[in-house]
Every structure is written in structure tokens, then in C-alpha cells.
Amino acid sequence: MLMRQKSQPKNEQGAESTGSYPRTRMRRLRQKSWIREMVAEHSLSVSDLVWPVFITEGKNQREYIKSMPGVERRSTDLTIEALKKAHGNGVQAVALFPVVPDKYKTMDGREAFNPDNLMCRAVQEIKNALPDMGIITDVALDPYTTHGHDGLVEDDKILNDETVEILCRQAVVQARAGADIIAPSDMMDGRIGAIRDSLESESFTDTMILSYAAKYASSFYGPFREAVGSGAFLKGDKKTYQMNPANADEALLEVALDIKEGADMVMIKPGLPYLDVLHKVKETFKIPTFAYQVSGEYAMLKAAAEYGCLDYEHTLMETMIAFKRAGADGIFTYAAPEIAKTLQEKSAKG
């Protein structure tokens, strides 16, 4: 009895889209580095990187973060030194996160909209020193509150609309200080439209908004909360406003709403555990889409490398390509300076 041969996949013209062995040998295009790079479907550029940094008060202050090897809290002067070096290697954007002294933390987080707060002063000083460096500022109340939440709290409930009013004031003072991109990470409903209206009313028409549109209630944020000093203050969890990790389609609705309200770009956070969401968002909306390799992801790579379980540099670069393959236009990573140096060295070797 004759065996029926399986049909080959066909392209739009109806022709067979694949060959067969031995005429087609997939390994031919893998045998040398130059051909592998020539036919690579995705690539990583230093312009894809955003470096998140933690800023603290004072001068010549440096504090190591135990849970994030290689990452420090720095005073603004030392931050500028580090940024100059990173910028020299091609890093073009920084995301600032303030370590707010306990004495400035309050229930209502009013320090967030103080025009002379740490964030605003740091933005001004960095802009003066590095006018070509893109500055992204975090809009959320958790560094400024005594309860560690991203919004105002009343009777153990996170208040949405009242919080949005504070976020608008916070966004305006950051824009006035010179921030290029305002990045609301709070996940309150309606805050993108309200912030856009506030910026427009103050003539900040060119200030961009990067919305953390799909930010999940994740366990991967632990080291970050230690770094900014909010973890010890956090009462309860953030599950009533950050997204359920079980949901992917919901992210599409969140993104659609934020685009309609005026977001220029959107963020998916965390990164690697949510590549499916990143891909769905990019494919659906075709809008600039960012991914955040969060503190827990970074810390896991460092810890695994320390125990000899993996090659840190190669694994790090592999994760970056994974983000690009999924559709990321930009990647927030604490390893941005390391990656930039690696890319520069590779380019120099030619």
C-alpha cells in the first residue's frame, strides 16, 4: 500500500515554503558566526536599553544593595558620574527611583509633589550635566508613604480617584524639573488621561507618558522594594490594583484604555515571566512597548552565576534577545551598563 506523503506548509503564493532533507540542511546557516549574525531575525542595540537607578540624599553617598549584587543607591553627584560613563558607552536613557528618607514619608505622600524633592532636584542636576540623556521619572506614591502603597489608603482600602489627583501634581512637578518621560507605575484607573490633561494644562505638550499599563502583582519585586526602602513599610499587598498573574487578555484592555487616554508608550512588568503578554500587546497595538527586567529577575541571574550554575554574561544577553524576540522596543535592566560595554567591545572587534 502506498504511503501518502505529508503535505508541506505553503506560503501565500501556494508554493511549498520549506524544502526537505538533504537538499535543505538547516545547519548550513549556523556554521560560522558571520552567517549566524547576518541571518539573525532579531538583534540588540544599546539604544534599546534603559538603566534604572536608585538615587539617595546627600553628597558622595554610596550604599550597596545586598539583594541586588552590583547595584547601588547613589547620591546625585555619584549618579551623574555613573551616568556619564554609561552614556559614553551608548546608554541614552535613565529611569530614576528615589530613596526617600523616613522623615519625609507621610500617610498622604505629599513629598511626591514637593517641587524641591529628591527626584526633582536629581532631574535638574542630571539634565544640567547630561543634557542629551533621556530622563524617565517614576510616578507613584509608594516611596513617599508610611504604608508603602502606590495610592492613598483609607480603612485599608486604596483610594483611586483621590490618588489620581496626587499623581497629577507629582507628574507636573517632575515635568517642570525637566523629565522627558513621565512613567506612572501605580496602576490606578484613569490616571493616564488625568495626567495627560494636567500636563497639557501646564503647556507640557511634548512631555511623553510611558504607562505601566500591564503591571502584575508579582513576587519578583522584592529586591526593588528593599532598594527604595518601601518594603519594610508595606502593609498588606497590592493585589487590588496590580494585575492578577493569571490574566493575559485583561492586559489588552488595560493597554487599550491607556492608549485612548494619551499614553505614548506602554510597559509590561515583570519581563521574562510575561513574554506572552508582551508579544500580545505588541502584535495587537503596534505601539512602542517596553519590558522591565525587574529586580528579582536580575537577582536570580546574579545568584545563579555566583553558584556556578550559569554563565552570567551569555545568559544575560540571551534574556535581552528574548525580550526583543517577543516585541520589546525598549528594555529596562539594571545590567544596562554591563550590556552596553559588551556590545561596544563586540562592535570594536568588528
Whether 215 is catalytic: yes
Q: What are phi and psi of 128, to 5 degrees?
A: -65, -40
Catalytic residue among 127, 238, 239, 269: 269
Cis peptide bond N-terminal to 101, omega within 30: no
CB 56 within 8 A of CB 340: no
DSSP structure class, residue 180? S
d(CA 279, CA 284): 8
d(CA 286, CA 289): 8
Catalytic residue among 215, 280, 282, 302: 215
**Amino acid identity for residue 211 in this structure:** S
d(CA 20, CA 24): 5
CB-count burial class (<10 Å; 0-12, 13-18, 19+) for 134: middle
CA-CA-CA-CA torsion sign (115, 96, 204, 159)? negative
Whether 280 is catalytic: no
**Catalytic residue set:** 215, 269
